[in-house]
Amino acid sequence: MLYQGVLMYNFGRKTEDLQTFLLYSKYTDGLMIEHFAETLFRESIRLRNQIVAREIAFGEGAIAPVTEELNTDLLNELQVHSKLWNDYQEPQLQETINTLKRCTPLERAYFQRFFTFVSKEQILSKTGGRNDPSNGFAGLWHTPLAEKIESGNILLGLTITEKRQSAPGKGYDIIDLNIPEQGEDFLPNFRTGDIIIFYAYRGEPDVRRQILMKGNIVDIQPRQLTVLLRNGQQNKDIIGKEDEVFAIEHDSSDASSVNAIRGLYAFLSARADRKELLLGLRTPQQHPERSLNGSYDGFNELILKEKQTDDYFLLVGPPGTGKTSCALRYMVEEALTDPDASLLLLSYTNRAVDEICNMLVGSGIAEKTPFIRIGNELSCDKRFIPYLLKYSLADCPKLTDIQKKISQTRIFVGTTTAINSRLHLFNLKHFTLAIIDEASQILEPDLIGILSARHNRDNAIDKFILIGDYKQLPAIAQQNEEEARIDDPLLQSIGLTDCRNSLFERLYKQSDEAFRSVLHKQGRMHPAISEFPNNTFYYREQLEPIPLPHQEESLPYPSASAPQDNLDRLIQTRRMVFIPSETPDNINYSEKTNINEARIVATLLTRIYRMTSETFDANKTVGVIVPYRNQIAMIRREIAQTSIPELNNISIDTVERYQGSQRDVIIYSFTIQNFSQLNFLTSNTFREGEYLIDRKLNVAITRARKQLFLTGNPQILGANITFYKLMEYIRMNNGYIDVGTAAFCRGDFELPECISGWDVQSDSYPLPESFRNAFQKIVTVDDEVLNDEARNRELTAYGRYDFSSPDTEIPASERLQLYNYYYMRRAYCAARALYETNGNWLFNAIRNVSGRVVFCDLSYESGASGLAFVDACRRLPHLDLTYLGIYPIEEMDKVAQLFFEQEAYRSVTCSFYPRIGAVPSTFWSAHSVLSELMIFNLSSLFDRISPREARDLALQINQLVHTRPLNHYATLFRDDAGERMNNHSYKTFCAHLTQAIRPLNEQMPFADRFFYSREAEHVPVSETFMYEIRSNK
pLDDT in tens, 613-642: 999 999 999 999 999 988 998 999 999 999
Distance from C-alpha of 1031 to C-alpha of 135, rounded to nearest angstrom = 48
Distance from C-alpha of 49 to C-alpha of 60, rounded to nearest angstrom = 17
How confident is the model at residue 349, as a pLDDT? 86
Q: What is the pLDDT of residues 518-532, one digit of tens each?
A: 999 999 999 999 999
Amino acid at 687: R
Phi, psi of 714 (to 5 degrees): -65, -25
Express as a percent the part of the chain with pLDDT over 70: 99
Return the H-helix or E-strand segment holding 97. Answer: helix 90-101
3-state secondary structure of 69: helix
Amino acid at 429: K
**Contact (Cβ atoms closer than 8 angstroms) between residue 638 and residue 680:** no
Least confident of 13-27, 236-250, 329-343: 13-27
**Contact (Cβ atoms closer than 8 angstroms) between residue 1030 and residue 970:** yes
One CATH from 3.40.50.300, 3.30.1330.10, 3.30.413.10, 3.30.450.20 for 273-477+484-519: 3.40.50.300
How confident is the model at residue 967, as a pLDDT? 96
Given a cut of 70, is residue 647 above it in pLDDT?
Answer: yes
Q: Indicate the length of the chain as a whole number.
A: 1033
Amino acid at 80: V
Q: Which residues pair with 22 in a beta bridge?
A: 32
How confident is the model at residue 184, as a pLDDT? 64
Return the H-helix or E-strand segment holding 873. Answer: none
How confident is the model at residue 378, as a pLDDT? 78
How confident is the model at residue 363, as a pLDDT? 95
**Contact (Cβ atoms closer than 8 angstroms) between residue 812 and residue 751:** no
Helices (H), 187-299: 255-268, 272-278
Distance from C-alpha of 211 to C-alpha of 199, rounded to nearest angstrom = 6
**183 band by pLDDT with thresholds 50, 70 and 90:** low
How confident is the model at residue 132, as a pLDDT? 63
Distance from C-alpha of 899 to C-alpha of 56, rounded to nearest angstrom = 66
Q: What is the DSSP letter of 324?
A: I
Return the H-helix or E-strand segment holding 835. Answer: helix 812-837
**Contact (Cβ atoms closer than 8 angstroms) between residue 345 and residue 412:** yes
Q: Which CATH class, in words, describes the domain spanning 138-250?
A: mainly beta
Helices (H), 733-788: 741-746, 769-778, 783-786
Given a cut of 80, is residue 130 above it in pLDDT?
Answer: no
Work out the average pLDDT over 832-839.
Answer: 96
Given a cut of 70, is residue 133 above it in pLDDT?
Answer: no
How confident is the model at residue 131, as a pLDDT? 61
**Diameter over CA atoms, the chain:** 115
Distance from C-alpha of 108 to C-alpha of 305, rounded to nearest angstrom = 34
How confident is the model at residue 816, as a pLDDT? 95
What residues does CATH 2.40.30.270 cover in the chain?
138-250
**305 band by pLDDT with thresholds 50, 70 and 90:** very high
Distance from C-alpha of 826 to C-alpha of 821, rounded to nearest angstrom = 10
Closest CA to 320 of 486, 477, 529: 529
Express as a percent the part of the chain with pLDDT over 90: 79
Q: How many C-beta atoms surround the C-beta of residue 779 within 10 A?
A: 20
Work out the average pLDDT over 935-964.
Answer: 96
How confident is the model at residue 999, as a pLDDT? 97
Q: What is the pLDDT of residues 694-742, one digit of tens each?
A: 999 999 999 999 999 999 999 999 999 999 999 999 999 999 999 999 9
How confident is the model at residue 10, as a pLDDT? 78
How confident is the model at residue 502, as a pLDDT? 95
Amino acid at 460: A
Given a cut of 70, is residue 402 above it in pLDDT?
Answer: yes
CATH superfamily for domain 527-752: P-loop containing nucleotide triphosphate hydrolases (3.40.50.300)
Torsion of CA 806, 729, 685, 660, to 10 degrees: -130
Q: How many C-beta atoms surround the C-beta of residue 520 within 10 A?
A: 13
Amino acid at 767: L
Mode of pairing for the β-strands spanning 458-459 and 521-522:
unpaired
Arithmetic mean of pLDDT over the chain: 93
Distance from C-alpha of 714 to C-alpha of 678, rounded to nearest angstrom = 12
Given a cut of 70, is residue 119 above it in pLDDT?
Answer: yes
Tell me how far CA of residue 495 lies from CA of 474, 482, 492, 503, 508, in angstroms. Answer: 17, 17, 5, 10, 10
**Is the bond into 1005 cis (omega within 30 degrees of 0)?**
yes
Work out the average pLDDT over 847-876.
Answer: 96
Amino acid at 287: H
Return the H-helix or E-strand segment holding 517. Answer: strand 516-518
What residues does CATH 3.40.50.150 cover in the chain?
819-1031
Q: Which residues pair with 973 in a beta bridge?
A: 1028
**185 band by pLDDT with thresholds 50, 70 and 90:** low
What residues does CATH 3.40.50.300 cover in the chain?
273-477+484-519, 527-752
Task: Please report how the helices 839-848 and 812-837 are oriented relative to each other, as an axis angle in degrees rounded to 10.
Answer: 90
How confident is the model at residue 33, as a pLDDT? 83
Tell me how far CA of residue 823 lies from CA of 377, 793, 818, 828, 1018, in angstroms. Answer: 57, 10, 9, 9, 19
Given a cut of 80, is residue 25 above it in pLDDT?
Answer: no
Return the H-helix or E-strand segment holding 425. Answer: helix 425-428
Given a cut of 90, is residue 893 above it in pLDDT?
Answer: yes
Long-range pairs of 742-747 with CB within 8 A, sequence gap ≥ 24: 744/567, 744/579, 744/600, 744/603, 745/567, 745/599, 745/600, 745/603, 746/565, 746/567, 747/564, 747/565, 747/566, 747/567, 747/568
Distance from C-alpha of 554 to C-alpha of 567, rounded to nearest angstrom = 18
Given a cut of 90, is residue 1033 above it in pLDDT?
Answer: no
CATH superfamily for domain 819-1031: Vaccinia Virus protein VP39 (3.40.50.150)
